[in-house]
Amino acid sequence: MRRIRETLRLHLQAGLSYGEVARALKIAKSSAGKYVLLARVAGVDWGVAQTLTDDELEARLFRPAVPRSSHQLAPDFALVHQELKRAGVTLQLLWEEYARDNALAYKYTSFCIKYRAFAQSLKRSMRQAHVAGEKLFVDYSGDTVPLIDASTGEITAAQIFVATLGASNYTYACATARQTTADWIGAQVRALEFFGGTPRLIVPDQTRALIKYPDSYDPEPNRTYEEFAEHYGCALLAARPGHPRDKPKVEGSVLLVQRWILARLRNRRFFSLAELNQAIAALLVDLNQRAFKKLPGCRASAFKELDAPALKPLPAARFEISRWKSAKVNIDYHVEFDAHYYSVPHRLVGTTVELRVTESLVEAFQANQRVACHALSHKRGAHTTTPEHMPASHRAHLEWTPLKLIDWGRRVGVSTAAVVTWQLEHRPHPEQGYRACLGLKRLAREYTPARLEAACARALAIRSPSFRSVASILKSGLDRQHSLLPATTAALPEHENVRGPDYYH
């Protein structure tokens, strides 16, 4: 269902053709058309799809097949071939026009198969052209710029990011500290803000920072990069490894940036990225205003005429880089991230949710729906609990309740029951003590109930009935000692000043 959702987003929201969607998602063009056709028949647009769960979307799209008619009236495929050369005309549109009020029309799949068979019989050649607002090519320059730490004198190499629009060659460049995922995506965010809009496709390298599984035929972007593309309503089309001709525009722009910007800065000293980026921005204006040698105008004028009107507007909010992590919901309806515990609805106990973590928020998703949102906390071992996530009277869990845990402790021994009770009474909510009680159950399995009872007795004696104390006592073997103080076994020496027991009679 994830690929179906992505197909609907790229076609219905981003406006990509079926061929472009197929190349971006590495699926058959016919599959892309099929998914969109099913959505259109079901009356599901992108706005509706976002409100549906995976099961609801599947039920809406995949309905029982309609029996085909026994005879079909073939269209004029020569006319179809000519019409496809017009801007914006697709096979989907031509099929809908052909099938309208035509009871003997081919189904869409048969229509496409027969058209492709007709097209393959024709000898034709095609020259690739860059459409306005279609592609943004991005890459890093091999050359770097030294950065000097003013306090220590340490020198580091700043990386130079370059982005170029295909139709106008309008170029953006900036410096980043490294080439991490955050650097790559942050530089692309600034590039889109520099251009003032978003293209339909972004063509990056297959770097590990962006591509989870590099491959010449089926590269898979990582989750953060996919989220970035979805936020800006564009598709990703990674260049093949070792094929610089897949992104010749940015390869040429990298050379221009090296010659017209970095070469001019070779004798300057920079002490911060901000200072370096100010110098690059000033020279970037001159680079984009330099006249073409064989074409009229310059990059800036070509951008205003070609790419600027074709770019889609930027979203209202800037993209915030996030991390994703799977987490299982414990019986206390909390999930753990960096040793802090965040609540989710108690009905999700035992399931696995996806955590999306930004610089300020932790969000939990289940079946593509957000179920919880908390402010990010760096307090280790603490809990962030939303009252709405808690069960009524703290007894919504079917398997574990405070009473059942205390009963289990009593079956082990009086000291164990006391430690369990302490865990439940010294928390803001009893359920937050469940995790420690489950830890005690694990210790009983690992060390035997008798040793656990002895360890709990010792923990109570030293007034530290926490799970960590009990575990430490068992690990060090202190539970096997019968007294907190070592017994004195040496006999007292005989001496005339030593009084015996008869002295007190």
pLDDT grade, residue 128 (50/70/90)? very low
Query: Which tokens is 205 given?
Result: 């390298």
pLDDT grade, residue 126 (50/70/90)? very low
pLDDT at residue 16 greater than cutoff 90: no
Phi, psi for 414 (deg, rounded to 5): -65, -45
**pLDDT tens per residue across span 26-76:** 888 888 888 888 888 888 888 888 888 888 888 888 765 544 444 567 888
pLDDT grade, residue 487 (50/70/90)? very low
Q: At a CB cut-off of 8 Å and minimum separation 6, what does 505 contact?
A: none
DSSP conformation class of 219: -
Q: Which domains does the chain have, with CATH numbers?
A: 2-120 (no CATH), 135-310 (3.30.420.10), 323-393 (no CATH), 402-480 (no CATH)
pLDDT at residue 375 greater than cutoff 90: yes
pLDDT at residue 501 greater than cutoff 70: no
* Average of per-residue pLDDT across 404-433: 85
**Residue 151, helix vs strand vs coil:** coil
Phi, psi for 122 (deg, rounded to 5): -95, 140
Q: At a CB cut-off of 8 Å and minimum separation 6, what does 147 contact?
A: 155, 156, 157, 158, 270, 271, 272, 273, 276
pLDDT given at position 497? 54
Q: Return d(Cα 98, Cα 383) in angstroms, integer.
A: 62
470: exposed, middle or buried (Cβ count in 10 Å: 0-12, 13-18, 19+): buried
Amino acid sitting at position 144: T
* Average of per-residue pLDDT across 318-338: 90
pLDDT given at position 18? 87
Q: Return d(Cα 292, Cα 300) in angstroms, integer.
A: 10
Q: Return d(Cα 81, Cα 120) in angstroms, integer.
A: 11
Strand order in the sheet with 340-343: 334-337, 340-343, 383-384
> What does the chain come to in residues?
505
How much is the mean pLDDT over the chain? 84
CA dist 168 → 134, 171, 304, 310, 331 (Å): 11, 9, 9, 11, 57
